[in-house]
C-alpha cells in the first residue's frame, strides 16, 4: 500500500500525463489504460529529479473491446493515435488488446483483458497502467509497483517472450535511464 500512495503522489505531478488521462477518460474505451513507458518512466524521472516526461518516446493507450471487429479496431486505433498526437504533440500507440494476437501476426494466444495482456508483456516494470481521471486514478500493476520504485528490470517469462526481445528492451531503457538493476533473462525457464 505504501508504494501505491507514493506512486499516485508522483504520477499526479506529471500534469501533461494527467491532462492526457482526462482526455483518454472521455473516450469511454472499455478496460482502458495509459500503460507502460509513460507511466513507469514518470516515476523514474521523479526519482532521478528530471523533468517528468524526459525520455518518454511514446504514450501507450491499451483497451479491451471485443464488440468491434479487428478491421474496425485497427481503423479506430489509427484515428485515435492521430487525434491524440495532434492534440498533445507526443507519439501515441493505441491498441485494442482483444486483437493484438492478430495484429502482431504471430501465433499467440489471444488476450482475455488488458490485465491479461500486461501479464504477458516483457518486463514487470512495463506491466503498469493508470485509468480513470486525474481526480480518481486507478492503478493496474499485476506484478506490483516495487520493481518500478527500485528500478529493477525483471523479465516476465511467458511463451510469447524471449531473450532477444527482452535484451532489446533492456538496452533501450539503459540508454535513457541510470542506475537500473537488470535481472538477466534465463534460458529454459518457460
CB 84 within 8 A of CB 61: yes
108-121 burial: b if 16+ Cβ within 10 Å, else e: eeebeebbebbebb
DSSP H or E run through 180: none
Residue with cell 501533461: 16
Q: What's the CA gap between 12 and 8, in Å, rounded?
A: 6
Q: What's the CA gap between 143 and 100, in Å, rounded?
A: 21
Global pTM reads 0.94
Model confidence over 16-56: pLDDT tens digits?
999 999 999 999 999 999 999 999 999 999 999 999 999 99
Domain boundaries, the chain: 2-182
Pairing of strands 58-63, 91-96: parallel
Model confidence over 61-118: pLDDT tens digits?
999 999 988 899 999 999 999 999 999 999 999 999 998 877 656 678 889 999 999 9
Amino acid at each position: 500500500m505504501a508504494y501505491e500512495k507514493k506512486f499516485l503522489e508522483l504520477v499526479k505531478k506529471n500534469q501533461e500525463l494527467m491532462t492526457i488521462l482526462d482526455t483518454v477518460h472521455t473516450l469511454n474505451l472499455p478496460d482502458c489504460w495509459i500503460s507502460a513507458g509513460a507511466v513507469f518512466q514518470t516515476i523514474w524521472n521523479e526519482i532521478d529529479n528530471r523533468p517528468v516526461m524526459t525520455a518518454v518516446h511514446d504514450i501507450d493507450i491499451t483497451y479491451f473491446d471485443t464488440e468491434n471487429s479487428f478491421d474496425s479496431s485497427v481503423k479506430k486505433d489509427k484515428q485515435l493515435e492521430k487525434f491524440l498526437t495532434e492534440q498533445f504533440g507526443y507519439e501515441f500507440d493505441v491498441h485494442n488488446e482483444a486483437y493484438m494476437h492478430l495484429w502482431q501476426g504471430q501465433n499467440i494466444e489471444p488476450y482475455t483483458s488488458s490485465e491479461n495482456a500486461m501479464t504477458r508483456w516483457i518486463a514487470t516494470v512495463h506491466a503498469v497502467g493508470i485509468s480513470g481521471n486525474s481526480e480518481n486514478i486507478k492503478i493496474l500493476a499485476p506484478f506490483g509497483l516495487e520493481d518500478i520504485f527500485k528500478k529493477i528490470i525483471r523479465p516476465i517469462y511467458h511463451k510469447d517472450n524471449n531473450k532477444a526481445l527482452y535484451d532489446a528492451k533492456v538496452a533501450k531503457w539503459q540508454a535513457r535511464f541510470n542506475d537500473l538493476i537488470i535481472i538477466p533473462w534465463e534460458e529454459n525457464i518457460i
